[in-house]
Each structure stands twice: as C-alpha cells, then as structure tokens.
Copies of this chain bind each other. A is one copy, B any other.
Amino acid sequence: MKIVGIADTTFARYDMGKSAIDQLKSMSPEIKTVRYTVPGIKDLPAAARILFDKYDAEMVMALGMPGAKEIDKMSAHEAATGLITVQAILGKHILIVFVYEDEAKDESQLAWLADRRTREHAVNAYYLLFDQEFLQKNAGKGLRQGYGDVGPLR
C-alpha cells in the first residue's frame, strides 16, 4: 500500500483534490490517498512536509490555481520554490500541479483544464510509484499535462 498525499487549497476555483483522488483510486487498489487542504498555495510547502512527516505519504500532489495578477504569479513562484526545497531536503516527489487563471479562454475551459491536468499528473504519480520503466520509454516524447502533447521533435 502506497500513500499519496493530496495537498490542495480553498483559494482554487475548482476541486482539483477530488479529481486527483478519483483518478488515483481508479488506477490502483494499492494507492491510498490522504487529503490535506490549506487556504492558499503558499501554505502548500508546509502541507507537503506534514503529509510526509505525519501521514507517511510516499509522494505528494500539490494542487493550486494561482490568480492572474502579477502578485499571484510571485506567490506561485514562492510556493513552487518552497515545494522544491522540501523535495531537495527529503528526496521525495511532490508533483506541482498549478493551473493559471489566464491559461484558458473562459471559466468552463479553465474547469476542464484543471480537471484534466490534475488527472494527467495523477497518472504520472502512478507511474512514478509503480512503473519507472514506462516513464523511461516515454522520455523525450514531448508529453504535456492539460492541453495536448506536443510530441517529439521531427
């Protein structure tokens, strides 16, 4: 049984945590999820560390939706830096799944993107836990999470 921590926020405008848990559960009975919700993305590094230290997570998905303003992009940068620092200290994966408000043309496409990107990162979490070989076979293939893959260079 592998525990995947799901850290998400009340700031986000889509329930990315639900998408992540739903996708992970559909992929393997050997994955158990533990959810931990925080107010905003800058709270995610502590959340991730707590999921590793107190909930025995083997991996964490950090889900967030930064706003469109300059200050929100700085918050996303600070949050990502902190999430990478936790990984550098512990040597454990935190999949950073951020969806920016200005990545879609309207709210309904943004909701679609948030769901899809989260699910595709959940699939990545599965492969990181159970099938490194599959990832190696896809190295350099130009895979993307959310919008379509761009594919390898021709």
Contacts and interface: CB of A to CB of B under 8 A. Distances in A.
A3 B17 CA distance: 29
A12 B16 CA distance: 25
A75 B14 CA distance: 23
Contact of A39 (B53, B84, B124): B124
A142 B11 contact: yes
23 contacts: A8-B139, A9-B140, A11-B143, A13-B150, A13-B152, A14-B153, A18-B139, A35-B136, A39-B124, A39-B135, A39-B143, A42-B84, A45-B88, A46-B93, A49-B91, A54-B91, A78-B84, A81-B84, A82-B88, A85-B88, A89-B89, A108-B153, A114-B153
